[in-house]
Structure 1
Amino acid sequence: MIEVSAAIIKKGETFLIAQRGRNKAQGLMWEFPGGKLEADETPEESLVREIKEELNIEIEVGAKFGENIYDYPSGKIKLIAFSAQWISGDLKLVEHERVKWVKASELQSFEFAPADIHFVEKLGKHDKFF
């Protein structure tokens, strides 16, 4: 099983979502940005590194929001989501097609990667968590 971390970054009443690259698995679906953990890396460390590499911003990782295990045709992943705050940097898309800031109530209108749907539903009920 591959472990992947995801950042649920909130600004005001909105959350940052990213559209996966068209040539990636689940291409053009939306996700909470993040990536695979490397050897000897905590999920929090992975998240800071991945967000810097993929979006060119610095974040501060907050509380764990939850976990979801999803069995894709290519293999099983364990997605670990954390709240996060944007600290600095200007968004630069490296891996993604687009990013958007959306309210929790708007998340359901986007086609999310299957592993992320659990967190979309949870945010719809608990967006005050942040």
Structure 2
Amino acid sequence: MAIIKVVCGIIFKDDLVLICRRKPEKSLGGYWEFPGGKVEGSELYEESLLRELIEELNLKVEIKQHFFDTVHHYDKGAIELISFICSTSGTVVESTDHDQLEWVKVDDLLNWKLAPADIPIAKELIEKYSQIK
């Protein structure tokens, strides 16, 4: 079975990071995640992330750099989660895939019920972030 490529943004604003809770009726409903979505066709990862963030959150971001990739095997298949550090000056007003949005401190990320694929990214971010503070 092919691994599905998914991109996500670690979106910073005022030293906080955006996480979003999946709607209860979605797969992994109730879990928190870094926002993003599936890469379609021959899209570049960055193009896919910018598109997904506009579609889901109507949020424009500036992609700063590639951050960390991880592969996670779920019951229904595997995903490769490709993360990027981003920044925004925008405000999220609504979300199509999420029922809650929170801006949280990096050090607090593991206190949230993160989707399993997002946990290694959160751990890496906490480790790297603590080194540069």
Question: What CA distance in whole angstroms lies between the structure 1 residues aligned with 2:105 and 2:39?
Answer: 28
CA RMSD of aligned residues (A): 1.6
User: Which amino acid letter does the alignment assign opposite residue 39 of structure 1?
Assistant: G
Runs of 4+ in structure 1 displaced over 3 angstroms?
87-90
1:17 aligns with 2:25: no
Question: What CA distance in whole angstroms lies between the structure 2 residues aligned with 1:32 and 1:12?
Answer: 17
Q: Tell me the equivalent position of 2:78.
A: 76
Q: TM-score, normalized by length of structure 1?
A: 0.94
Structure 1: which 5+ residue stretches go unaligned?
Answer: none
The percent of aligned pairs where both chains have the same amino acid is: 37
Contact 1:60 1:87 in 2 (8 A): no
Q: TM-score, normalized by length of structure 2?
A: 0.92
Structure 2: which 5+ residue stretches go unaligned?
Answer: none
Number of equivalenced pairs: 130
Q: 1:51 aligns with which of 50, 53, 58?
A: 53
How far did residue 11 of structure 1 move? 1.1
Question: What CA distance in whole angstroms lies between the structure 1 residues aligned with 2:92 and 2:30?
Answer: 22
Q: Tell me the equivalent position of 1:95.
A: 97
The structure with more strand, counted as a fraction of residues: 1
